[in-house]
Amino acid sequence: MCAAKCSVQSVPMSITYGPPPPESPAPGAPQPPSGAASGREAAASAAAPAPTEGQRPRRSAVFFGARGTPTGFTARAFTKSMGFTQEDLAKPVIGILQTWSEFNTCNSHFRQLAEAVKRGVWQEGGLPLEFPTISLGEVHTQPTTMLFRNLMAMDVEEMIRAQPMDAVVLLAGCDKTTPAALMGAASANVPAILVSGGPMLNGRYRGQELGACTDCGRFTTELRAGRITPEEYCAIEDSICRSVGSCMVMGTASTMASLAEALGMALPGNAAIPAPDSRRLQLAELSGRQAVRLARWGLCPSDVMTEAAFENAIRVLMAIGGSTNAVIHLIAIAGRLGIDLPLEQFDALSRDTPWIVNLKPSGAYQMEELFDAGGIPAVMKELEPLLRPEALTVTGHTVGEHLAGHPLYQPTWNRKVIAALSEPLNPEGGIAVLRGNLCPDGAVLKQTAASPELMVHRGRAVVFSSIADLRRRIDDPDLDVGPSDVLVLQNAGPVGAPGMPEVGFMPIPKKLLAQGVRDMVRISDARMSGTSYGTIVLHVAPESAVGGPLALVQNGDWISLDVPNRRLTLEVPDEELARRRANWRPPPFQFERGYRLLYQQHVLQAPQGADFDFLRLPAGRAAGL
């Protein structure tokens, strides 16, 4: 257990939200059947265990001290200036980490979400105190939110450390806010629970169900190809995002919300409830109540996010056809706890975890349909034979206990959305890890969103030396490119870009679009949006800017891709590569001061989670305060 030294696992708990009714049995006595609770009101624990001997006092109790003593006098006096009473100061203090921002459209409803959390905290006998952190919105943050994920994680960690909270509720939604919140919470290692903002409602246009931003890319391609009119394009723009929330396909936001649930850091059902649905507020309230219990138990992120939990999360990632960005984020979160997640582990688990969730961009449906089909609990129920049952969750129960008796963990009724494990959509998971002389440290590809005819391919390289070069030349009528060629983008990785932006989804050259081409093999050291699709090799490591082989590729080189055998090969003799390397020079850093210079100096490569080298926890070291 974490620093609080409180044993939770030894105490049997019922599977109901909320406090036990007066007639509930004491901890350790027989519990009522799980069927006694219903619907969204069934999940977490009911009875908190008594503190064990030697348990440390709450952080807030130390900070505020005893009334009538000099210790905490100023803190008590100033806190009472907000209208709180001495009775309030004696309660567990629950921080509510707020990522609301009008520059972050995914999180624009978080003020209401925070109020629901506060209700739950008050109901359970805690004192809720809301505080802001950096908020990273994909649409408005330039040049890329990934440049600032580590900065937000540092903000989260230091604000949790610096302020006298006994537990924290992490409000997260847009892509990088979830991993940043979990990274910071892992490093601080104060009891924590995550509440996602939820996905948008489905977009609609002339009878079509639209998904942001998978269909943003699809219709932009059709506009460039001249297949739809500017007027139709504008109508789609006005129809695709019709509510608050994050992207409603299985993009990075929905993937990370799903993995937070699979890791055990969120209540069951957290990921898929649509943002405008009243049940989203109900879950937020219940999470506030659970946060108070976590504070009393001393159940910390290091107790929940264990090796078993990360294995379960990777299994879920592969089954849902989730975002390739999740590979980087899971590695970064685990690294904050001293847990190593090598790319080989992702590939090994993908090999025997079938893809079963039929959502865009790999499939046909969206998060609304997944919620209706049972959400992540139904997915995990289907994966039950593959999951590690001993992994503990923020409910105080293990995954195995949830699967055995939790009302939400039931087989789906809708096999169009969640396929049976015995009849999967694909026998392997969503992501493949590649190796070869072009990516000696690895690369990833979302195989469930790739074109089957390109999974084994050999083509001539068409090289772009930078993002600016790509934008300048991709639609040049004189560009020497054909449908079977391989587009290669250099210097778009963590150091080179910097920040590893989502430019791996390179546009198809306009003259090829006119010929009907809609996919090509594309290779880069960049990322792509989790909402994107295509035969796209990403996260090539080492990246170009630090001297990876990708930097040595030249126009006309032949490249072979073999996804079934996990190989990516640059067909250039070693002697020629050595000659090119002797002439290669690293590009200069783009920044001379401030955070951006620090980023370029200390960011790690994609297989290490693109975290900073000084933030990962050395193996064997205890996490937290």
Question: The CATH number of the domain where 561 resides is what?
Answer: 3.50.30.80
Same domain as 375, residue 320: yes
Q: What is the rounded distance in angstroms from the CA atom of residue 60 to the CA atom of residue 127?
A: 10
- Residues 310-363: pLDDT tens digits? 999 999 999 999 999 999 999 999 999 999 999 999 999 999 999 999 999 999
Under 8 Å between Cβ of 166 and 610 = no
Same domain as 507, residue 493: yes
Position 36 scores a pLDDT of 29
Position 4 scores a pLDDT of 42
Closest by alpha carbon to 503, among 517, 486, 522, 520?
522
Position 55 scores a pLDDT of 64
Residues of the chain with pLDDT under 70: 1-55, 625
Same domain as 98, residue 194: yes
Looking up tokens 């490119």, which residue turns up? Answer: 481
Under 8 Å between Cβ of 532 and 501 = no
Same domain as 331, residue 293: yes
Under 8 Å between Cβ of 512 and 481 = yes
Same domain as 82, residue 221: no
3-state secondary structure 542-572: CCHHHCCHHHHCCCCCEEEEECCCCEEEECC
Name the token pair of 612: 């900073």
- Residues 139-187: pLDDT tens digits? 999 999 999 999 999 999 999 999 999 999 999 999 999 999 999 999 9
Instruction: From residue 437, give the alpha-carbon distance in Å to each of 21, 178, 263, 464.
Output: 63, 34, 34, 19
Its sign, for the CA torsion 146, 442, 341, 428, is positive
Position 592 scores a pLDDT of 86
Q: What is the rounded distance in angstroms from the CA atom of residue 289 to the CA atom of residue 403?
A: 22
The number of domains in the chain is 3
- Residues 277-314: pLDDT tens digits? 999 999 999 999 999 999 999 999 999 999 999 999 99
| Domain hosting residue 164, numbered range | 67-201+243-405
pTM > 0.95: yes or no:
no
Same domain as 219, residue 197: no
Position 80 scores a pLDDT of 97
Instruction: From residue 547, give the alpha-carbon distance in Å to each of 460, 501, 553, 556, 586.
Output: 22, 19, 11, 20, 7
Q: What is the rounded distance in angstroms from the CA atom of residue 454 to the CA atom of residue 450?
A: 7
Q: What is the rounded distance in angstroms from the CA atom of residue 175 to the CA atom of residue 256?
A: 7
Under 8 Å between Cβ of 268 and 397 = no
- Residues 571-594: pLDDT tens digits? 999 999 999 999 999 998 888 899
Same domain as 231, residue 99: no
Same domain as 258, residue 211: no
